[in-house]
Amino acid sequence: MKKLISMAMLTLLSLGLSSGVAYAGDYGKQKVVYHINMDDPKVLKAALGNIQNHLNAVGKDDIDLRVVMHGPGIALLQLANKDPDFSDKISNLKRQGVHFNVCNNTLVGKKINYKNDLYDVSKDDIVPSGVAEIARLQSLGYAYVKP
């Protein structure tokens, strides 16, 4: 009897494991907004790594990924304007379809010239309010991620 129970449990365990492996990495289509409002370079670098890992897992063709920066989060693009490691990571993410959006309220409040002070920002990348943009995207079904 013990042998029969052991074999049954082994069979169930192997079925469970094989079914888990069959679905590993199958995340379907995703819409995601990453919320960046911190200025610690280590945290910002980790956030860029999270974004790349997310893309790798889901696949660039199956994800609509937005990064919305406001307040101290603007430091990400200020750092990228001076640090080739940050600019390379951002350029690579953009080539994979990631959209980076910048809060106009922050630009005005901090007197930041997006053309000179931020890395690779166009007028189309600027949103009126970072937090309002995050709420808008969530209302459109985007999952919220705060690294």
CATH code 3.40.30.10 for 28-145: no
As a whole number of angstroms, the distance between CA 143 and CA 35 comes to: 11
The pLDDT, as a whole number, for residue 12 is 42
Mean pLDDT calculated for residue range 5-19: 44
Predicted confidence at residue 26, as pLDDT, reads 85
Render pLDDT for 44-91 as a digit per residue (tens, 0 to 9). Answer: 999 999 999 999 999 999 999 999 999 999 999 999 999 999 999 999
Phi/psi at 64 (nearest 5 deg)? -115, 105
In the structure encoding, which two tokens stand for residue 46, read together?
Answer: 């980790």
In the numeric block, which tokens belong to residue 10?
């082994």
Q: Would you give the end-to-end CA distance of the chain in angstroms?
A: 51
Answer yes or no: is pLDDT of 9 > 60: no
Whether pTM exceeds 0.85: no
Q: Quick check: 4 pLDDT over 60?
A: no
